[in-house]
Amino acid sequence: MSSNYYLAMRGSTGVSTTTYSTANRALAVGGAAMIIGAASGLAQGIAQARDGSMTGQQVAVHTAKEALGTGLAVAAGASVASALSMRGALGIAGMIAVGAAVKYTWDQSMSRDLLCKSASAAEEKPAKTTEKKPAPKAAK
């Protein structure tokens, strides 16, 4: 029996087996990792919202960013390890290496994207000046 066969459930016709592809396994593991990433991002966001450094909307964006990044990183790591038939310690090391690279890239691209958006928003809004306008001339 191949490692692609797992017992799914026992039905009225007996025990059935289902074949799961590498993509299906990666999506399942990535989906579970998204939940963990969302919990981690929310915990960080709540702490920052309590001290006033984040608004509720920023907490929501941060939570979604962490959830997607973690899910993508774990799914990519699991997919590569499975595709290369890595097992045991080698599989875990492969997942960690690929997952860390994907998460690092995700975080860098998200921070760059957010910096670009904030810079373009700052360019669109004129900066407030502290210069006083000259007083209107009094009529004689």
pTM: 0.64
pLDDT reading at 34 higher than 70 = yes
For 32, 44, 67, the CA distances from 41, given in Å and listed in that order, are 15, 5, 7
Per residue in 77-126, pLDDT tens?
988 888 888 888 888 898 899 999 999 999 898 877 665 665 555 555 55
When pLDDT is cut at 50, 70 and 90, the band that residue 6 belongs to is: very low
pLDDT at 1: 46
Both tokens of residue 29?
A: 């593991």
